[in-house]
Amino acid sequence: MPEIDQISPASTNQSGPSRITDRQAIFRILRLWQRQAPRLAIGLMLALLALCAGLLLMQVSGLRLAGVVLGEIIITTALLRWVGIGRVLLRYSERLFAHDAMFRALADLRVWFFHSLAQGAASGLGFRRAGDMLSRLVSDIGTLDGLYLRILVPFMCATLTLPILLVQLCSQNLMLGCLTGLLFACSAFLFPYLIARSGRQEAEQLTRSLSALRISVLDLVGGLREVRAFGAEPQMLARVEADDAALLGGQKQLARRAALANATAYLCGQIAILFVLLAISGVGFSKVAPLSGVGILFLTVAAFESAGALTRAGVQAGAMGAAARRVVEIAQGTPAVSTTGQEVDAPTDTHIGITGVKFRWASDRPYVFDGLNLDIPAGARVAILGPSGVGKSSLAALLLKAATPESGSITLGGIDISHIRATSLRRQIAWLSQATHLFDDTIRSNLLLGKPDATEDDLWRALEDAAIAGVVRNLPEGLDTWLGEGGVNLSGGQGRRIALARTLLTDAPIMILDEPTTGLDAQTEQDFLRTLNTVTAGRTIILIAHRLTGVEKLDQVWRLSHGQAAAVPLS
Amino acid sequence: MWYALFAAGAGVLNGLRPSLSGINAYVMSGKKQAIRGWTRTQTRLGRKAAGPVVVFGILSSLVGVAQAWCIAVVLGHSLISLHSSTVPAALPLWPIGAFLVLAIVRTCFLAGVDIGAANAGIEARKRLRAEVLSSVLTGGPALLRQEHSGVLATTVVDRVEALDGFFGRWIPASITWIAAPVLVLIPVCFVQPRAGLVLGLCGLAVPVGQALFGIGAAVASRNQFLAMTRLQARFLDRVKGIATIVLAGRTEDETHRLAEAADELRLRTMKVLRVAFLSSASIDAAMVVALIVVAIMDSHAALSLQEQNSAPLLEHILTSSLFVLLVIPEFFSPLRALALAYQDRAHAQGAATAVIDLPVAEEHRTVSEQDLFPDRSISITLDQVCFTWDPARGQALDHISIKVPAGETVILTGTSGSGKSTLMELLLKFISPDSGQILLNDIPLETIPADALSHIFSWIGQKPILFAGTLRDNILFAHPDADEEALMAAVKAAAVDQFLPSLSEGLDTRIGEGGFGLSGGQAQRIAIARAYLKNAPVLLLDEPTAHLDPETEKSVFESLQRLALNKTVILATHSAATHMFNGHRIGLQDGKIVQKQGSA
């Protein structure tokens, strides 16, 4: 859905980067549902028809009975039967259709959410919590079904019911009609609105509590090894319990509000019935004809039942607003990819030039690079050395546009990379980082991430080159071995080599290998580096390392220190 | 309590259960029984809290019946005035007054039902979440080999959340669905036996329909939750590695796969709903049939009376018929509540499958490590220890015998995958040996409780988990009560102080999940600082200097040497710098000892 992804600059800028209102968020969500609009509309139509059938049914069965007083059958048995059948069928198909449409829209929304999240996540989640993202994807988007099912549909039903109620009642007794109409409007529109507004804060708190619970549970579960080894069970448990208590406490309050809302809605309906009864008896109102009295009584009973749904929705509306905002925030929060004019595809020339680059991760951190100059010709094999934390990974991030320099320029084939489309740039550069993730999937799928159309031979060759083919061959399920979370089913060093094989598998003409030999023993390390000398002929290799072993064939070695690169003479 | 009588109602439903679960042929009967046992236990535990919900629910139905009578009297009286031959009598006002009073009373009852249900759900979830959590903690790290952490978290968070309806709705509904309609039926039979018969018959059709649809509901709901869990685990895993996906240019592919998972969830959800909607449509149908039959039947009866011109009789039949019409929704609403709660029961069964897979929570034993090891000098003995992760892949450790005397160091070498980490995990009791024995001094490892063990070992793993928070929190994780002096000593020893100046807020700098904001080497040093702070008598070091440059590695090894003084140490490493450690060297290959230097 590429057209959806373009956030109109106006809507993002005018509200400021930090906060958007619930209403903006909800409208944004509704716009995202356009693709499902026809289905949603049909669902709504069915709901309205089902409502009419429902109102009619109560009224005609009352009238049928009352009519006998006059000694005649006003309502025929056939009519009664058709209305009854219609009511059951319409109600069933309405619910089925509306829910299906809604869940299609939610699935779209989840996909959009992940896509938006990925837009700004070239350097990882950063300070965002995976558990919080999960909570947004699952619970918050899940809550949004209410936007249509619990608010929009009942609202339209109520808007249809109100004039029906008004016309029928006013034609009998103006005052009765007005009073009942007023009650209905209160119950269906005013009270839900008030409840929603007053509960906004609590609702937001509740969505946050659920997210906090998810985060602390994930911390506990994901960190089970540390928790056990450090005997941290009590402190982790205490945190989860505190978050749980906050969530349950919030839910308790919400339940009270819901009970109050329900009671109010119910009482409104009862008062309306009371008015009708008074009018029928001619007390306080001018007397209504008995027969139509019966009709409007049954109509009132049915009408207020549908209004009650809206009162209940009012309780959840706050949560929906909060959820909508949390979902949309992610899209807004992604840094607007600097769309400086026309972006071009990466050139075929892979000469890398870095001149005068200044860079730091945050304004309160010291400069990682301060006037960095590097020149890496196409096809060169270079090493960049330096102690840990000197900025070797930052260099890779800059080259991949996962981070932007404050000043200076980085060029690829003579074109400033800020003008090169990120996806195209990244196709040219393969990066094995220290944080490369192994997915909870088979070895094969993990490798295919590097090159989706790789053949079986390609896969094995990459595994050979990464010095892991023997291990994989000995696995009973070979390439189809499930790696487990973070590669848990292999040892650390083996997992690392699977990631290396994935990087070697790519066709990218430039390879940045950040400590590719971590986890290898000295002999295997040397073997690997010798292999690297041969398999990557013609490609640019940027080897990031703490030290050299002496077997690497290199054209140039740089040492990073104090934010600059100094050439090291080749021995 | 008196409502326990109505538990008989639930009993009728329970009687349906064997046939319902009969379709789960894939579940072995032992497991099936465990699920049933769990559900039964939960039902028993939930009954007490459901009490107020049941009482208020039944009372509210009864008030509803009285209200219907009031309305019927008013309507009947006013209609009879149309009857040509009657002199309109003054309309009594008492029904209107009574209606108002009853409406207020019923409002209170309804609020009572709502609040009672919420409380029942909240209490039960609190209890269950604590139970599930302690099961997860008992299972410990071994669980992470079987399940994605996302799946475990789903069990703790979402499975338990989904049980709200089981305690708040299903358990009360399983009592009221029979009690309330019967109580409503009594006055109806009294007023108009014929209508009572119609209502009773239509009502009886409902449980039959429910039983039919219920069969599908349980399976559908289980599949839906499975799809939900899968989506969650997939998303969590992909989000953690999102940078890898984006930089590999695979965003579109992954988005597409997520779309498939999301769509599967929709299909599964719709299956659940289709059944739920069908079952409530069947109740709708029963209600409509009752409504129409009563309306037609009574209007025929009334017509014949009308011809007889007997006003009082006519008024009576009009009033009673209107009463029955008005009471019909009242009669069906507890049945409808039962239908709505049917998927809640399915949720409970789903939760049961997830929960009974977890180990039973251990009771806390109060043996402290001081009682077991008073002088804090500990020798480690492995005697013919074997361990297998996966039978198809052969033994990870094959008859390993090692003795590490107290205060000495053993260095494990060997290629990645040779079993070094497995050995560490065995010592930490993350896993248990298939055969052979591990002794600390002369105490078998399996008899030492987990919390005592955590005081004995300091462990630096290969992938230390850093939590989102400040550096200080992350180091103090090892020993929350440590004072500033101890903290600073640990910081210095682990060479953390070397990179602190480059961080804006020093130790109070916030880092993201998985150590975002730190380089690999820096994260490693935080983990080492933890080990220092803990200062336990045994050090288990699993490649502690991976990701470190030679210079930092040297300084860390130097400080590890100081830490290792008088401690028992097992160090697994490839590093050439281990010559700094004096100790016995043991070479591992494919889970066997291939080389021994020194007298280990």
pLDDT by residue (tens digit) across B543-577?
887 777 777 788 778 878 878 888 899 998 877 66
Interface-testing mutation among A281, A433, A490, with chain B (most B C-beta atoms within 10 A): A281
- Chain A 95-124, residues with CB within 8 Å of chain B CB atoms: 95-96, 99-100, 103-104, 106-107, 110-111, 114-115, 117-119, 121-124
| Domain(s) of CATH 1.20.1560.10: residues in chain B | 27-356
| Domain(s) of CATH 3.40.50.300: residues in chain B | 369-597
CATH 3.40.50.300 fits B369-597, yes or no: yes
Does pLDDT of A64 surpass 50? yes
Does pLDDT of B179 surpass 50? yes
Query: Kind of pairing, strands A381-385 and A407-412?
Result: unpaired
Q: Are A369 and A221 in a shared domain?
A: no
The amino acid occupying position A185 is: A
Q: Give the nearest partner residue to B392 out of A244, A273, A476, using CB atoms.
A: A476
Average pLDDT of chain A to the nearest whole number: 84
Question: In angstroms, what separates the C-alpha of A517 from chain B's closest C-alpha?
Answer: 10
- The full 3-state SS of A94-153, as one line of letters, equals HHHHHHHHHHHHHHHHHHHHHHHHHHCCCCCCCCCCHHHHHHHHHHHHHHCHHHHHHHHH
The β-bridge partners of A372 are A357
- Residues of B in Cβ contact (< 8 Å) with A516: none
Whether the Cβ atoms of residue A192 and residue A314 lie closer than 8 Å to each other: yes
Residue of A nearest to B284 (CA): A88
* Total domains present in chain A: 2
CB distance from B248 to chain A under 8 Å?
Answer: yes
Does pLDDT of A195 surpass 70? yes
CB spacing of A494 vs B504 below 8 angstroms = no
- Chain A 505-524, residues with CB within 8 Å of chain B CB atoms: 506, 515, 518-522, 524
State ipTM: 0.86
Using a pLDDT cut of 90, give the percent of chain A over it: 15
- Chain B 552-591, residues with CB within 8 Å of chain A CB atoms: 552, 574, 576
Give the pLDDT band (50/70/90) at residue B128: very high
Q: Where are the beta strands (DSSP E) in A515-555?
A: 540-545
On whether residue A346 sits in a domain, the answer given is no
The candidate with the shortest Cα–Cα distance to A296, out of A157, A160, A161, A168, is A168
Distance from first CA to last CA of chain A, Å, rounded? 55
Using a pLDDT cut of 70, give the percent of chain A over it: 93
For B91, other C-beta atoms within 10 Å of its C-beta total 18
On whether residue A347 sits in a domain, the answer given is no
Question: In angstroms, what separates the C-alpha of B10 from chain A's closest C-alpha?
Answer: 26
Average pLDDT over residues B193-211: 85
User: What CATH number does the domain containing A239 carry?
Assistant: 1.20.1560.10
CB distance from B313 to chain A under 8 Å?
Answer: no
For A121, other C-beta atoms within 10 Å of its C-beta total 24
DSSP 8-state symbol, B158: I
Query: Which comes out higher in pLDDT, residue A184 or B79?
Result: A184
Q: Are A261 and A403 in a shared domain?
A: no
Does pLDDT of A17 surpass 60? no
Average pLDDT over residues B167-195: 90
- Residues of A in Cβ contact (< 8 Å) with B83: 69
CB distance from B228 to chain A under 8 Å?
Answer: yes
CB spacing of A96 vs B96 below 8 angstroms = no
pLDDT at position B228: 83
**Domain residues for A444?**
352-568
pLDDT at position B125: 93
CA distance B24 to B271: 17
Last residue of one domain, picked from the residues A283, A306, A333: A333
- Chain B 412-431, residues with CB within 8 Å of chain A CB atoms: 413-418, 421, 428-430
The β-bridge partners of A565 are A560
CA distance A455 to A458: 5
Give the pLDDT band (50/70/90) at residue A8: very low
On whether residue A96 sits in a domain, the answer given is yes
Q: Are A403 and A313 in a shared domain?
A: no
Does pLDDT of B582 surpass 80? no
Give the pLDDT band (50/70/90) at residue B10: very low
Q: What is the pLDDT of residues A453-510, one digit of tens each?
A: 889 999 999 998 888 898 899 888 889 988 888 888 888 888 888 998 999 888 889 9
CA distance A237 to A242: 8
Give the pLDDT band (50/70/90) at residue B119: very high
Give the pLDDT band (50/70/90) at residue B54: very high
Does pLDDT of A335 surpass 60? no
Query: Which comes out higher in pLDDT, residue B15 or A333?
Result: A333
CA distance A520 to A412: 33
pLDDT at position B363: 65
Interface-testing mutation among A51, A109, A113, A134, with chain B (most B C-beta atoms within 10 A): A134
pLDDT at position B98: 92
Give the pLDDT band (50/70/90) at residue B579: confident
Q: What is the pLDDT of residues A421-448, one digit of tens each?
A: 888 888 888 888 877 888 888 999 999 9
Q: Are A92 and A230 in a shared domain?
A: yes
Does pLDDT of B76 surpass 90? no
Does pLDDT of A185 surpass 50? yes
- Residues of A in Cβ contact (< 8 Å) with B576: 522
H or E element, residue A440 = none
On whether residue A53 sits in a domain, the answer given is yes
- Residues of A in Cβ contact (< 8 Å) with B266: 100, 103-104, 106-107
Average pLDDT over residues A97-110: 91
pLDDT at position B120: 93
Q: Are A408 and A540 in a shared domain?
A: yes
Whether the Cβ atoms of residue B192 and residue B297 lie closer than 8 Å to each other: no
Which residue do the tokens 């080599």 mark? A497
Q: Are A327 and A368 in a shared domain?
A: no
pLDDT at position B123: 92
Give the pLDDT band (50/70/90) at residue B206: confident
Q: Are A161 and A310 in a shared domain?
A: yes
Q: What is the pLDDT of residues B264-286, one digit of tens each?
A: 888 988 888 888 888 888 888 88
On whether residue A10 sits in a domain, the answer given is no
CA distance B330 to B335: 10
Average pLDDT over residues A231-253: 91
Last residue of one domain, picked from the residues A333, A365, A391: A333
Concatenated DSSP letters for A479-523? Answer: GG-B--GGGTTS-HHHHHHHHHHHHHHS--SEEEEESTTTT--HH
- Model-level pTM greater than 0.80? yes
State in words which class domain B27-356 has. mainly alpha
Average pLDDT over residues A376-381: 89
**Lowest-pLDDT range of A30-34, B27-31, B519-523, B594-598:** B27-31
Find which of B16-30, B302-316, B420-434 is predicted with most confidence, using mean pLDDT. Answer: B420-434
Q: What is the pLDDT of residues B416-431, one digit of tens each?
A: 788 888 899 899 888 8
Q: Are A279 and A379 in a shared domain?
A: no
Q: Are A441 and A314 in a shared domain?
A: no
Average pLDDT over residues A229-242: 89
Whether the Cβ atoms of residue B273 and residue A99 lie closer than 8 Å to each other: yes
Q: Give the nearest partner residue to A294 out of B79, B83, B549, using CB atoms.
A: B79
Q: What SS3 state is found at B310?
A: coil
pLDDT at position B281: 85
pLDDT at position A550: 76
Does pLDDT of B461 surpass 50? yes
Give the pLDDT band (50/70/90) at residue B26: very low
Alpha carbon A424 to chain centroid distance? 25
Q: Are A230 and A359 in a shared domain?
A: no
pLDDT at position A87: 86
Residues in chain B: 600
Q: What is the pLDDT of residues A261-309, one digit of tens each?
A: 889 889 999 999 999 888 888 877 777 888 888 888 888 888 888 888 8
